[in-house]
Structure 1
Amino acid sequence: MRVVRYHHHGPARDVLRLLDAPEPEPGPGEVRVAVRASGVNPHDVKKRSGWLGGELPPAGVTPHSDGAGVIDAVGPGVAEARIGQRVYVLRAPVHRGTAAEKVVIGADWALPLPEDFSFAEGASLGVPAFTAWLAALADGPVTGRTVLVQGGGGCVGRVCVELAAWSGARVIATAGSEAGRAAAAARGADLVLDRNRDDVAAAVLDATGGRGADRIIEVDFAANQATDVAALADHGVVASYSSTSDKRPVLDYYGFALKGASVRFIQGAKLTPAQRDAAALVVGALAARGRLRPDVPARFPLAEIAAAHEAVEAGASGNVVVLIGDDA
């Protein structure tokens, strides 16, 4: 099979290589997926570039945790009826990801793909949708609460907006571009702010009668920490899934502590089985109703995977996928 691997950290065009490799065989409790599309997320390019640090295994890394395709083999303990099922992949193995024609994963992490979703859309569901569920709903419904979504026009942020609005929250979103603000509004935000021009904290306090947001979903903890402290209600929650501007930010301990705040660090790759199952019910039900539909404006063939990584690094306005099958 064709597979992409890198053996060193560095720029995409310098380290990503398209190789031939033996097809993997599923073990007990596993399925093999013939991949039709492989999703590229910011954490994929951070890992490949070395931004996240860490040593690489001698055999190299096949990138990407998200993907979609068709189950073509099952291991012991898995019903053969699953062969032929269209699925999207959630949390592929760390070093053997979906940038390959075949991938083996635990059967419980291959989830049914909604009938009217393309494989490219399915490859864009995993990390964005499940990270968004963790950030918005992992602590329970947000009905009647005010939720501020920082970066509400991004791939994760717009799903956060949609999930919070679906749960009955009043949603305030920020975005830096006109397209991002339009995306947040389309997904259900009640108020959309320009993060570059508006005084976000003042706008949130004004909209809540001085109380502040009950929950803040954060795309860049380091960059927005001061705003979050000012905009957060007493006993509020900050759920942060990234801190791209500074991976080791200094924490304003008393800024949060004096509000009795909770700060949660969200990592979509660390879902527990219980969280996976709870999120899958919500994601699956909404997707079946035509909700949570990913925007996939950037699609690249497997041979151009470096360009796909560069598109993510350049701040692509929607999801980026690598197409592996003709029917993606």
Structure 2
Amino acid sequence: MKAVTWRRFGAAQDVLQVEDLLKPTPAEGEVLVRVAFSGANPSDAKARSGTRPGVTKPPFEVIVPHSDGSGVIEAVGAGVDAARVGERVWIWNGQWQRPFGTCADYVALPADQAVALPDCVSLEVGAVLGIPGLTAAQTVFGGGDVTGQTVLVAGGGGAVGYLAVQLAVWGGATVIATCGARDVDRVRAAGASHVFDYASPTLAEDILAASGGGVDRAVEVELGPNLPLLAEVMKPLSTIAAYGSAKDMAPEMPFGPMLFKALKLDITLIYILPKAARDAAIARLHEALEAGALTLEAPNVFAPEEAGRAHDLVEAGGRKGAVLVGF
């Protein structure tokens, strides 16, 4: 089978290559998926580039990247219902703690990691539901329903933030979003009631005014740099649902202001989400998709031979639409 691989850390164009590997056979409890689209995410680029803290060498001799993907089940292993053959699916954790992910013609993985796609959902959209979709659903709904709440989404123009805005609106929340100046109109079109440039010198005052005195839940992409702002704009007893802090991985916490509001910090790493929480997030995503409440922008699709360009686009940031490798 055709597969994109890497064997050493480095720039995408230097280490990603296409080669022929043996087609996998599904083991007991596994399914074999004929991949249609493989989703590239920042975590895939960081793993390939060797920039994860404390990681000094690749974890496997040969790595097929990407945890997200979509396709059709072609075969099943022992113990898996044969009726699943022919099922359209989307994939989560395809390459988490495993050498072979979704960036290949085929991937074999545990059956519950291949989720049946609703009939109304395309394979292109399915390839985005793993990391961006589940992260958005968990950070918005991880504390329960948000009906009647005010939800602040930082980075509303990003892959997770754009979905989080739509999910929170669908969930009955009033959404305030921050983003770069160029994304204000598209984030507002996604449903946010108030959209502010994150570089505004009056951002805290603007959020407090728009929220009527404070935010119930924050979906946060850059926890470290934004902690002082959050301590100011959150309501007492509210929750900060954080999934990133790339600009400051060792932030100083304004504990005094946070203490006297009794703020809760809920950190999400979607790879290790417990089964009950993951099942709930999957259900939320499917319900929103079937209700027509989620619109994804046109993806950037690359051939396997262009996987290096796909990773470059992910690393550059500021893009619209998912980055997919098509098979």
Q: In which range does the TM-score fall when normalised by the shorter chain? A: over 0.9
1:4 and 2:7 matched: no
Shift of 1:309: 0.5
1:193 and 2:210 matched: no
Cα contact 1:121–1:295 (8 A) shared by 2:
no
Cα contact 1:121–1:293 (8 A) shared by 2:
no
Misfit runs of 4+, over 6 Å = none
Residue 282 of structure 1 is aligned with which of 281, 284, 288? 284
1:114 and 2:143 matched: no
Match of 1:305 in 2: 307
Task: Tell which deviates more after alignment, 108-117 or 32-41.
Answer: 108-117
Cα contact 2:65–2:95 (8 A) shared by 1:
no
Match of 1:162 in 2: 166
Question: Pairwise mapping of residues 204-219 of structure 1 onto structure 2 (< 5 A)?
Answer: 204-210=207-213, 212-219=214-221
Match of 2:34 in 1: 34
Shift of 1:279: 1.4
The alignment-based identity, stated in percent, is: 39
Give me the TM-score of the superposition, normalised by structure 1.
0.94
Gaps of 5+ in 2: none
- Tell me the number of residue pairs that the alignment of Structure 1 and Structure 2 aligns: 322
Pairwise CA RMSD: 1.5
Match of 2:142 in 1: 138
Shift of 1:198: 5.3
Cα contact 2:154–2:220 (8 A) shared by 1:
yes
Gaps of 5+ in 1: none
Task: Tell which deviates more after alignment, 127-136 or 239-248.
Answer: 239-248
Query: What does the per-residue CA deviation read over 1:119-138, in whole Å, with 9 as the maximum and x for residues that have no partner?
Result: 22211122111101110101
Equivalent AA in structure 2 for residue 9 of structure 1: F
Q: Match of 2:218, SS?
A: strand
Match of 1:317 in 2: 320
Equivalent AA in structure 1 for residue 249 of structure 2: K
Match of 1:291 in 2: 293
- In structure 1, C-alpha distance between the alignment counterparts of 2:250 and 2:27, rounded to whole Å: 39
Give me the TM-score of the superposition, normalised by structure 2.
0.94
Q: Match of 2:185, SS?
A: helix
Cα contact 1:135–1:217 (8 A) shared by 2:
yes
- In structure 1, C-alpha distance between the alignment counterparts of 2:9 and 2:79, rounded to whole Å: 37
Match of 1:125 in 2: 129
Query: What does the per-residue CA deviation read over 1:94-120, in whole Å, with 9 as the maximum and x for residues that have no partner?
Result: 232111111112111211223343322
Question: Pairwise mapping of residues 36-185 of structure 1 onto structure 2 (< 5 A)?
Answer: 36-53=36-53, 54=55, 55-94=57-96, 95-178=99-182, 180-185=183-188
- In structure 1, C-alpha distance between the alignment counterparts of 2:179 and 2:186, rounded to whole Å: 9
Task: Tell which deviates more after alignment, 112-121 or 22-31.
Answer: 112-121
Q: Match of 2:89, SS?
A: strand
